[in-house]
Amino acid sequence: MPDLNRRSFLKNSLMSSIVAIGGISWPSWMPRVVFGPPDRSPHGDTLVAIFLRGAHDGLNIVVPYAEGEYHAKRSRIGLDEPNKGTAKSVVDLDGQFGLNPVLRPLKDIWDEGDLAVVHAVGSPDPTHSHFDAMDYMERGTPGEKQLQTGWLARHLASLASENRSPFRAVGMGSVVQAALRGPVPALALESIASFHLDPNRRASDITRFQQTIASLYQGTGFVEVQGTATFEALDLIKKIEAGGVYAPANGAQYPNTPFGNQLKTIAQLIKADVGLEVACVDKGGWDTHAGEGDVTPAGNNLPALLNDLQAGLHAFYTDLQDRMDNIIVVTMSEFGRRLADNASSGTDHGHGNVMFLMGGGVVGSKVHGVWPGLAPNQLYGPGDLAITTDFRDVLGEILLKRVGNPHLDQVFPHYTDYHYRGVVTPRRTRTASLTDLLAAAR
Amino acid sequence: MTHMTRRRFLQYGLAAVAAGAALNNAAEAAPVPTELGPLGSLGFPWRAREAGVPSFEVHVLSRMAFGHTKADLDAIQSGAFKVNDWFEAQLAPDGTENDSLTQKIAGFQTLDKQIWELLRDYPQPMQGVTGPTVRDVINELLRATLLRKLYSKWQLKEVLVDFWTDHFNINMYDDLQQWGKSVDDREVIRRHALGNFHAMLLASAQSPAMVTYLDNNTNTRQAPNENYAREVMELHTLSVNGPYNQTDVQNLAKCFTGWTVYGRGPNVPENRRGTFYFNPNVHDTTTKTLSYLPAPVQGRSGPTGVQEAEGVIAALATHDWTAQFIATKLVRKFVADDPPLSLVDQVADKFLATTTAPDQIAQCVRLIFQSAEFRQSYGQKTRRPLDFMVAAMRAVDADVNTTGDTISFLERVLVRSYLAPQGHNLFGKVFPDGYPDVGVEWVNTNALLNRWNFGLNLMKNQLERRTQPSMVNLLPWINTVQPQTVAGLVDAMIDRLLGYTIDAADRDALIAYVASGGAGSMALSNPMKTVKAPELAAILIASPYFQAR
């Protein structure tokens, strides 16, 4: 077997094939279930979309420390230049921007070339309402509410996929995220551990009990389709769990938080090859109007939230290291926060923000976008960071180049004026035949 | 825009009914950019397989009540249940109540108090301090809400209370709402649920919980806050596609400057704390223009400044866009996720014709009740998580033990373990749009699993063994019915839980479960009565049939 580095595009497919055919030892919790002919299923990256709800303060997350205006307007919660040597010194990225030091562990991924930032990005709609802004972003139609479906649901529906896995699209949590709402059934999953029918075995004949309910759900009505998907998911989860407790690889340590546990579940699903194409994760609490904090985690302040965010992302990356070429993680938040901090040591609703991208296909170690500046005449509205990159430019480029979906007209209807920032590299098409793979494996 | 086109446009935007074909003027149609179509086309259909048609009585109880009880079925069977009489009585509750509810709710302390009394008697919890806290106010409202749905004889009122609770949504877990939602529930929602919309809207605008929830208390001449002004038009009256613009939002916010609540501090007289008042000192006295009103709102100073927004509320409450919006939502509640336009238009006309009637809402609901659309719509609605839970418990006459601390079962188990994980956290919706009323929002894998587990634990008395060891007991009923065979038990159970017959293959599957693969003619054994019968009920509760109403 040739010495393949992490960025080799073939490695994962090779290893899967070896296992499937050669029977080489592999964690037993991997059920090896194949949904649809793999050559006709989409070859794209698995997309993990993280929605940071409440409008996070991008200016204190990826800090434009070279801007005098930043320091002038943030007398209460502003961070320091990287060379200041203080606890509040940011982690330098490129001589202009720096990470909030709470995010320092992400610098490893940045240095590896698998992490990038897009700055001054967002939804062009001027709303300062969380409700509307989230809605617009999840529908992928800023300023329009006619279309009831979400951008990810339309993405899935626009592909001629033969992937029939109940895990094709998973929304972590009690309800499916609005981005996934649409004609392709998405699985709502709180956790693998909680996804059981009659976990305490109270039915006298548990097998027949489940089979009887399942038989009642045979049909093509909406509720029946959902019920059938539930049983398929139950079945798969049983197989996933058969090998015991999930052990993350490479010493990855997920934080024991809802966010950490949800990312761990996604990692488990990815490694189990159950056909996962899209996963949505939420992390809320970013509406920091008061007591935002700077670099010291406390309660539910910004540093505390960032700490959970970085710990989860870092563990996910570590755990899935040898699969990262086939995974893309993207974060988004409905809008940014005002440049000037307020009298309550917080920030009010703003406009432009940051997005993180993580994965092997990311053009990493780079802050992408066009920086609009922070001078008064460069700000938007009441003193907000302007938007120079539409969030659809980023998501559209990901779908096009990494996930292999050319139908952006269906995913983001009416949007044609794309400005791709080169945030990802085009995915190389897998052409190797099974024989090639086996030959390479020997 | 013609009247009809306007209505259809509104309808389209609200309900997302099928695409452009419904619109007779393409230029005004909201563009539908993909062939995937709007979500409305996914609306919850009746089960793809065949099922019997429920009687009109059973249908009415599934829509205008939280499902039927055993007593209801008996009354229907004996002819004592006259559906028209029942309905008319439901429109005008006479003040009596079922003993089962009265007894369970008798010890409640907070339901009748004024907001300043609640603030005085139920402080925020503090470490090391024992005694009543605001948690008690919150818990009693949750408990009362569930008990009323389960046991009140005024079921239609409870259905409408649920409806208006979403329409005038308030997140109870924040700020003054922790005390104020209980008052709002009594003085706004329950008082007017079957009454007059204008009266309800005005009461809501002056409800302390609504004032703080939508930030009107921070809305001043110097620093206007548009939150309430926007939502009262978008969510409470005209609807999101209504005839208003951003300038109207700003100008209406100015009208509402000074609509606020007294503080809670020691410098405020005790019996005013948290109550609504108009503060002329922060009121914007300029004249405001609203595009949907024929004349500008004249600015007023002093105490009469409150009349500006009162006038706008009166106009909004009787606007024909409001009529269309409320009619759409009512028809969606009672008839179908995609409300039939013919009925919506009739209800909107009734709404407009009765704007001064004290029973305006009751008259609108009566029109729905009497319509062919309602009669023919059985099975087209999905039970929301609360509908499902209460209907299941009513169908098997679950008797919740509410003695002593046991009563906390209601919020600990029913709300937190079953409703909230399905996304239906009562009074906890953060955003002001309320919980949705279309099936597609509620049916997903996680929710179905939660429902299936609920049904089994309910029937096995395992929702919380410690506090509810004998909440459900079907054995006395089975011994009364005395089915001789497995098929007899299955048919009796189907009738009791659903009230109509089901697909033959599904019935066979139920028989096979009880008979462990045997035939329906098999004689009924004791273990079948004691062990299999509750599980049979659990399977029916888990079935697609029971998810619909």
DSSP B445-490: HHHHHHHHHHHHHHHTT-SSTTT-TTS---HHHHHHH---BHHHHH
Q: What number of other Cβ atoms are within 10 A of residue B386's Cβ?
A: 21
To which H or E segment does residue A62 belong?
strand A62-63
Residues of chain B found within 8 Å of residue A186, distances taken between Cβ atoms: 444
Q: What is the DSSP string of A107-159?
A: HHHHHHT-EEEEEEEE-------HHHHHHHHHHT-TT-----S-HHHHHHHHS
Chains A–B, number of C-beta pairs less than 8 Å apart? 173
Interface of A with B in 205-234 (CB under 8 A): 205, 208-209, 212-213, 215-217, 219-224, 226-227, 229-230, 233-234
Q: Is B29 on the interface with A (CB under 8 A)?
A: no
Tell me if A402 is assigned to some domain.
Answer: yes
Residue labelled with tokens 């329009």: A144
A259-305: pLDDT as tens digits: 999 999 999 999 988 889 999 999 999 988 888 999 999 998 999 99
Distance of alpha carbon B302 from alpha carbon B280, whole angstroms: 5
3-state secondary structure of A438: helix
pLDDT at A375: 97
Length of chain A equals 442
The number of distinct structural domains making up chain A is 1
CA distance B504 to chain A (A): 11
Task: Decide if B446 touches A, using CB distance below 8 A.
Answer: yes
- Tell me the three state secondary structure of residue A353: strand
Query: Per the domain annotation, does A373 fall within a domain?
Result: yes
Which chain A residue's Cα is nearest to B460?
Answer: A202
* Residue A240 pLDDT: 85
Contact B84, B375 (CB under 8 A): no
Q: Does a structural domain hold residue A383?
A: yes
Longest Cα–Cα distance in chain B = 83
Q: Does A411 reside within a domain?
A: yes
pLDDT tens-digit map of A311-320: 999 999 999 9
Query: Beta strand pairing status for A169-172 and A366-368?
Result: unpaired
d(Cα B170, Cα B177) in Å, to the nearest integer? 7
Kindly list the residues from chain B whose CB atom is less than 8 angstroms away from the CB atom of residue A201.
none
The reported pLDDT for the residue numbered B451 is 97
Asked if A332 contacts A50 with a C-beta cutoff of 8 angstroms, the reply is yes
A202 located within any domain: no
Q: Is residue A213 part of a domain?
A: no
A175 interaction partners in chain B (CB closer than 8 Å): 422-423, 441, 444, 446-447
Which pLDDT belongs to residue B31? Answer: 31
Question: In this complex, is the C-beta atom of A344 within 8 Å of any C-beta atom belonging to chain B?
Answer: no
CB contact under 8 A, B516 and A208: yes
Task: Provide the pLDDT for residue B2.
Answer: 34
Distance, in Å, from the CA atom of A45 to the CA atom of A64, rounded to the nearest integer, reads: 31
Which residue in the block uniquely carries the two structure tokens 């392709």?
A184
More confident residue, A348 or B155: B155
Q: How many whole angstroms separate alpha carbon B233 and alpha carbon B155?
A: 30
**Residue recorded with tokens 């009693």:** B140
- The DSSP output letter for B407 is G
Answer yes or no: is pLDDT of A22 > 50. no
SS3 B74: helix
pLDDT for B77 equals 95
Model pLDDT, residue A429: 56
| Whole-number Å distance between alpha carbons of A20 and A32 | 7
Mean pLDDT for each consecutive 10-residue tract of chain B (549 residues)? 36 34 31 32 47 90 98 97 98 96 96 98 91 97 98 98 98 94 98 98 98 92 88 94 91 97 96 98 98 96 98 98 98 94 97 98 98 92 96 98 96 94 91 88 90 97 96 98 97 96 94 97 97 98 94
Q: Which helix (H) or strand (E) holds B261?
A: strand B259-261
User: Strands B276-278 and A169-172: what pairing?
Assistant: unpaired
Q: How high is the pLDDT of residue A34?
A: 41
Please check whether residue A153 is in contact with residue A180, taking contact to mean a CB–CB distance below 8 angstroms. yes
The whole-number pLDDT of residue A243 equals: 72
Q: CA B216 to CA B232: how far, in whole Å?
A: 11
Residues 230-249, chain B: which have Cβ within 8 Å of A?
A: 230, 240
Question: Per the CB < 8 Å rule, is A197 touching B38?
Answer: no
How many residues does this entry show for chain B?
549
User: Whose CA is closest to B359, among B186, B196, B197, B201?
Assistant: B196
Q: What percent of chain A stands above pLDDT 70?
A: 87
Determine the longest span between alpha carbons in chain A, in angstroms.
72
The residue type at A315: A
A206: three-class secondary structure by DSSP? helix
Residue type, B197: F
B82-119 per-residue burial string, b: 16 or more CB within 10 A, e: under 16: ebeebbeebbeeeeebeebbeebbeebebbebebbbbb
Pairing of strands A169-172, A187-189: parallel
Contact list, B423 vs chain A (CB under 8 Å): 174-175
Nearest CB partner across the interface for B39, out of A181, A203, A227: A181
What is the arithmetic mean of pLDDT over A189-203?
89
CB burial string A63-86: b at 16+ within 10 A, e below? bbbebebbbebbeebbbbbbeeee
CA-based angle B360:B364:B368, to the nearest 5? 165
B282 phi and psi angles, rounded to 5 deg? -110, 10
Q: What is the pLDDT of residue A3?
A: 33
**Cross-chain Cβ contact A131/B531 below 8 Å:** no
Chain A neighbours among B 507-526 (CB < 8 Å)? 509-510, 512-513, 516
Which strand (E) or helix (H) includes residue B352?
helix B341-353
Pairwise CA distance, residues B388 & B545, whole Å = 11
Closest Cα in chain B, distance from residue A217 (Å): 7
Cβ A175–B543 below 8 Å, yes or no? no
Tell whether A2 is covered by a domain. no
Which secondary structure element, helix H or strand E, spans residue B333, and what is its range? Answer: helix B320-334
CA distances from A431 to A10, A39, A329, A441, B350 (A): 10, 10, 25, 16, 67
Q: What is the DSSP letter of A82?
A: G
Higher pLDDT, B378 or A439: B378
Contact criterion met (CB < 8 Å) for A216 and B543: yes
Please tell me which of the candidates B45, B443, B539 has its beta carbon nearest to residue A212: B539
Q: What CA–CA distance (Å, rounded) separates A117 from A120?
A: 10
Considering only residues A256 and B174, tell me which one the structure prediction assigns the higher pLDDT: A256
Residue labelled with tokens 């749009």: B433
Q: How far apart are CA B40 and CA B46, in angstroms?
A: 15
State how far the Cα of B110 lies from the Cα of A80, in Å rounded to an integer: 52
Chain A CA closest to residue B47: A221
Q: Which of A131, A189, A216, A238 to mutate to test the interface with B (most CBs of B within 10 A)?
A: A216
Whether B504 has its CB under 8 Å from any CB of chain A: the answer is no
For B:37-96, CB contacts with A below 8 A are 37-40, 42-49
Contacts of B120 (CB under 8 A, 6+ apart): B270, B273
What is the dihedral angle through the alpha carbons of B160, B163, B166, B168, rounded to the nearest 10 degrees?
-50
Which residue of A lies nearest to B444 if distances are taken between CA atoms? A226
Set of chain A residues whose Cβ sits within 8 Å of the Cβ of B433: 131
**A4 part of a folded domain:** no
Lowest pLDDT segment from A1-10, A87-96, B180-189: A1-10
Instruction: Provide the CATH number for the domain around residue A87.
Output: 3.40.720
A199 touches chain B (CB under 8 A): yes
Write the residue in A176, A197, A219 that is nearest to B452 by C-beta: A197
How open is the CA angle B521-B524-B528, to the nearest 5 degrees? 125
The DSSP H or E segment spanning A238 is: helix A222-242
Predicted pLDDT of residue A127:
82
Whether B408 has its CB under 8 Å from any CB of chain A: the answer is no
CB-CB contact of B315 with B201 (8 Å): no
Please tell me the distance from the alpha carbon of residue A224 to that of residue B185, in angstroms, as a whole number: 36
Q: Rounded CA gap, B359 and B198, in Å?
A: 11
Q: Are A47 and A398 in contact (CB under 8 A)?
A: yes
- Residue B319 CA to residue B316 CA, distance in Å, equals 5
Specify the pairing of strand A98-99 against strand A389-390: unpaired
Mean pLDDT, all residues of chain A: 86
Of B12, B452, B457, nearest to A213 by CB-CB distance is B452
- What are the start-end ranges of the E strands in A258-302? 278-283
- Preferred mutation among B8, B173, B444 to probe A, highest tally of A CBs within 10 A: B444
Contacts of B42 in chain A (CB under 8 A): 182-183, 222
Closest CA to A342 of A303, A289, A298: A289
DSSP-derived letter for residue A45 is P
Alpha helices in B79-185 (DSSP H): 83-91, 99-105, 115-121, 134-151, 155-167, 177-184
pLDDT at A191: 86
CB within 8 Å: A208 and B432: no
CA A218 to chain centre: 33
Write out the residue range of the structural domain in which residue A151 sits: 11-192+246-441
DSSP assignment of B518-534: --TTSBPPHHIIIIIHH
- SS3 state of residue A202: coil
B82: DSSP letter: -
CB spacing of A212 vs B45 below 8 angstroms: no
How far is it, in rounded angstroms, from Cα A115 to Cα A362?
7
Going by C-alpha positions, the residue among A60, A97, A108 that lies closest to residue A314 is A108
**Distance from C-alpha of B439 to C-alpha of B42, rounded to nearest angstrom:** 9
Angle at A41 between CA A36 and CA A46, to 5 degrees: 115
Alpha helices in A163-221 (DSSP H): 206-216
Residue A171's beta-bridge partner residues?
A188, A280
Question: Which chain A residues are Cβ-neighbours of B33 within 8 angstroms?
Answer: 147, 409-410, 413-414
Please name the residue of chain B whose CA is at the shortest distance from the CA of residue A158.
B36
Residue A43 is predicted with a pLDDT of 66
Strand order in the sheet with A98-99: A62-63, A98-99, A91-92
